[in-house]
């Protein structure tokens, strides 16, 4: 475990370091996205109560093996900076994921895998860990029953997850792999008392960084829309728990805590707060969905009217440089969302940072 070694630079102002892309963006020139998120499949082995991506009525899809694997070549050819396997389901359910990760490594693409970790078995660990830049484990709890409740899964998935993480971190140490590893811990209505133990468990497992926060339960989530737990709990109790958790920080292990009741957590826009042309982040971060369509952002998963084009018909570069992308970008940036479509926006921080570049402070020349 070492935040200093494995996560060094994570807190630097990454958006502002995209100097070439920022220059081209400001001068209306073409540039490839810095980051592409791939959703290998929308099938999942869990049904997390908060999951924004989980849709009962949506048909299950998986990218064809060759489209998934070859997309890594296409992204490298297009000059994309990094790839995130994440999306609307559990990436490890896709049987060609190890081949895709191997291909990405052959093309020197830095890759992040976001996973609930339950399927990260010994065989998969041996196939993929050596190639990863970053492993992000979603939502750990120290209590098997609370874990099962949060993830809508049988309790034995907790034991499997913990065993997988133990071996994953041991392999990293033994074989000197460089990937950083983080986990999230989400506050829910009934787990405030176990938050400290959950973060401690992550530290004991050798994870570098834990983000303690809470999910936004939207109208798309299995739980339905509901208030954030931190707003329903006594603030003194939250602060007491927070203080205990922060005491776990040392030079090898870092924790960040953000709750809606006490902090500003950036989220996507709604109809009332919508600003036309604000969502400039979609030019720097884009998505490949499990149906092969390339989409601008999380609001659009599976919504073909916002597709830039399909990898089953065109290459990524042709799609990215095509006229359709320009049309769709204009359309989405001028269309306020309905209801919760934008609540869980993965690029809201990026949008916020880019708007600071456009509307720069009057202090800009006083360095």
Ligand X SMILES: C[S@@+](CC[C@H](N)C(=O)[O-])C[C@H]1O[C@@H](n2cnc3c(N)ncnc32)[C@H](O)[C@@H]1O
In the complex, the residues that contact ligand X under the rule CB under 6 A are 44, 50-53, 86-88, 90, 114-116, 138-139, 184, 215-216, 218, 221, 344
The piece of 14-22, 49-57, 93-101, 316-324 that touches ligand SF4 (CB under 6 A) is 49-57
Q: Of these, 15, 18, 116, 184, which contacts ligand SF4 (CB under 6 A)?
A: 116
Longest CA span, the chain: 58
Q: Which of 33, 40, 82, 89 binds ligand SF4 (CB under 6 A)?
A: 89
Stretch 129-148: interaction string toward ligand SF4, x if CB under 6 A:
---------x----------
CA 268 to chain CA centroid, nearest Å: 14
3-class DSSP assignment, residue 20:
helix
Sheet holding 293-295, edge to edge: 254-257, 209-213, 180-186, 134-137, 111-115, 82-85, 35-38, 285-288, 293-295, 309-310
Q: Name which of 32 and 42 has its Cβ closer to ligand SF4.
A: 42
Minimum distance from CB of 337 to ligand SF4 (Å)?
6
CA distances from 7 to 133, 183, 258 (A): 10, 13, 19
Alpha-helical (H) ranges within the chain are: 3-6, 19-26, 65-78, 97-106, 122-128, 144-151, 156-175, 195-205, 229-232, 235-246, 316-321, 323-333, 348-358
**Distance, CA of 280 to chain centre:** 18
Choose among 344, 338, 356, 354: nearest CA to 274.
338
Minimum CB distance to ligand X, residue 346 (Å)? 8
Residue 46 as a binder of ligand SF4 (CB under 6 A): the answer is: yes
For residue 214, the partner it binds in ligand SF4, ligand X, none, with Cβ less than 5 to 8 A by kind, is none
Judged by beta carbon distances under 5 to 8 A according to partner kind, the member of ligand X, ligand SF4, none in contact with residue 86 is ligand X
Element (H, E) at 257: strand 254-257
**Least distance (Å) between residue 91 CB and ligand SF4:** 9
CB nearer ligand X, residue 143 or residue 340: 340
- β-pairing, 35-38 vs 82-85, is parallel
Comparing CB distances to ligand X, the nearer of 44 and 67 is 44
Looking at the Cβ atoms of 1 and 309, the one nearer to ligand SF4 is 309
Identify what 336 binds: ligand SF4, ligand X, none; CB under 5 to 8 Å per kind: none
- Residue 138 vs 286, nearer CB to ligand X: 138
**Shortest Cβ 251–ligand X spacing (Å):** 26
Q: 177 or 278, CB closer to ligand SF4?
A: 278
Give the number of other CB atoms < 10 A from CB of residue 32.
20
Phi, psi angle pair for 290, to nearest 5°: -70, -10
Residues of this chain that bind ligand SF4 (CB under 6 A) = 44, 46-48, 51, 53-54, 89-90, 116, 138, 268-269, 279, 281-282, 297-299, 332, 337, 342, 345, 347-348, 351
């Amino acid at each position: 475990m070492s935040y200093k070694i494995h996560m060094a630079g994570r807190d630097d102002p990454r958006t502002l370091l995209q100097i070439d892309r920022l220059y081209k963006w400001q001068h209306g020139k073409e540039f490839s996205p810095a980051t592409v998120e791939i959703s290998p499949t929308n099938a999942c082995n869990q049904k997390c109560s908060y999951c924004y991506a989980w849709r009962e009525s949506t048909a299950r899809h998986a990218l064809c093996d060759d489209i998934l694997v070859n997309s890594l070549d296409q992204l490298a050819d297009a000059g994309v900076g990094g790839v995130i396997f994440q999306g609307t389901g559990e990436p490890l359910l896709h049987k060609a994921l190890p081949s895709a990760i191997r291909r990405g490594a052959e093309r020197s693409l830095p890759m992040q895998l976001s996973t609930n970790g339950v399927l990260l078995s010994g065989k998969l660990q041996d196939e993929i860990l050596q190639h990863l830049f970053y492993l992000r484990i979603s939502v750990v709890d120290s209590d098997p029953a609370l874990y099962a409740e949060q993830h809508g899964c049988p309790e034995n998935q907790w034991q499997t997850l913990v065993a997988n993480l133990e071996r994953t971190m041991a392999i990293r140490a033994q074989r000197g792999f460089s990937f950083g590893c983080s986990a999230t811990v989400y506050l829910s209505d009934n787990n405030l008392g176990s938050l400290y133990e959950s973060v401690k468990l992550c530290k004991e497992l050798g994870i570098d960084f834990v983000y303690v926060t809470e999910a936004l339960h939207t109208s798309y989530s299995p739980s339905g829309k509901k208030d954030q737990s931190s707003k329903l709990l006594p603030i003194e109790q939250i602060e007491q728990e927070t203080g205990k958790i922060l005491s776990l920080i040392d030079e090898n292990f870092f924790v960040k805590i953000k709750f809606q009741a006490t902090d500003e957590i950036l989220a996507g826009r709604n109809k009332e707060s919508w600003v036309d042309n604000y969502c400039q982040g979609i030019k720097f971060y884009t998505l490949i969905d499990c149906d092969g369509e390339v989409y601008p952002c999380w609001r659009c998963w599976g919504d073909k009217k916002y597709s830039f084009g399909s990898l089953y018909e065109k290459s990524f570069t042709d799609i990215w440089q095509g006229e359709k992308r320009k049309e769709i970008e204009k359309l989405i940036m001028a269309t306020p969302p309905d209801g919760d479509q934008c609540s869980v926006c993965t690029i809201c921080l990026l949008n916020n940072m880019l708007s600071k570049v456009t509307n720069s402070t009057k202090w800009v020349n006083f360095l």
